[in-house]
Amino acid sequence: EILFVMERKAPTVKFLDRTFNVDQNKMREIIRFLRDHDNNITVFQFEIVGDLLEEETIELLQTVRRGQLRFEIGVQSTNPTVTRAVRRIQNFEKLRENVLKIKDRTIIHLDLIAGLPHEDKESFIRTFNETFLIFPDELQLGFLKELQGTDISLTKTRHGYRFSEKPPYEIEFNSYLSQDDLEEIRIVEGALNKYYNSGAFPKTMEFLFQTRKLDPYRTFLKIGRNFDIKKAKGMQPDTVALKLYESLAEGEDEDLLFVIKQDYLFKPLKPKVWWDRTVTREERKEVYLKFIKMHPELNLEILYRYAHLERAGKRYFLVIYKPLAAYFLDDSV
């Protein structure tokens, strides 16, 4: 059956076993089969328990094509008191260690849930930051829902829960998170989806959280408060980028603007420029010649017809739209 869908080049195949890696021998057997019959197209998606990965499995995962496997891993919370309350056994440090070992080869999707018993706002912020700083490909932030017959439903009075009366019966508040707390978390969720999970600003995310080492939760909250989440899907790309800059820049911030420009401009079609141009005609020709010297495959005809140049100080970013390519030059060195 697997070969059947691979021969037909299905884009995605999802395995429904929620504990795919409990039997590590079976997991390795399947991974070897998928690796050896890879068609360079199909992505296989699994739900796994992140802290149970064995070293032999991790070593095997280093041999698969990058992106062939997608792992969904439920973290829910990094607070042991919270995970015990929902009868979940989890070693977050081991989960983190394992994910960091495999994330260069596999697509990693991590899940969090807001509204679990004993998780107050301070604890949730810590959970969010600790999980985000693993830098998964996607971080899904969900909100607790009431399912009849579950422990959450049976003990909701003890924990002060109120859920919506209509589907999806989502949490409105409990003894640990107020309605205002949850509304704030939803603002963070909106900004997280728009700027991180979308994959539209990878260099900016790296700059904010690895170079400047900003607090993830408070940064996304600051961004989210600068636009209407309900209208986020309809925002034009130039507005999305501008809102990001306006949210975080204190005064003029040349370095931040420069990295946002790189993400914004590196698209198949040249987007609308929403900032003031600072590169003069004379400077452009001079810098183009320097790029040509570094990259002989370039020439002035290509650059003047298909390129866009941006500068921050003596650093230059060049994007060419036919074919799409990016180049950098640090003229201060």
- Domains of the chain, earliest start first: 2-143 (3.80.30.20), 187-274 (no CATH), 276-330 (no CATH)
Task: List beta partners, residue 145.
Answer: 170
pLDDT interval class at 332 (50, 70, 90): confident
**Residue spans of alpha helices (H) in the chain:** 2-7, 24-36, 55-61, 80-85, 92-102, 121-132, 151-154, 179-192, 202-206, 216-224, 237-248, 254-265, 281-294, 300-306
Q: What is the mean pLDDT of the chain?
A: 95
Give CA angle at 133 (55, 98), nearest 5°. Answer: 5
- The pTM for the full model equals 0.95
Spatial separation of the C-alpha atoms in residues 106 and 25, rounded to whole Å = 19
pLDDT of residue 138: 98
Spatial separation of the C-alpha atoms in residues 164 and 144, rounded to whole Å = 11
Spatial separation of the C-alpha atoms in residues 107 and 299, rounded to whole Å = 37
pLDDT of residue 18: 73
Spatial separation of the C-alpha atoms in residues 160 and 179, rounded to whole Å = 12
Spatial separation of the C-alpha atoms in residues 329 and 316, rounded to whole Å = 5
Of all residues in the chain, the percent with pLDDT exceeding 70 is 100
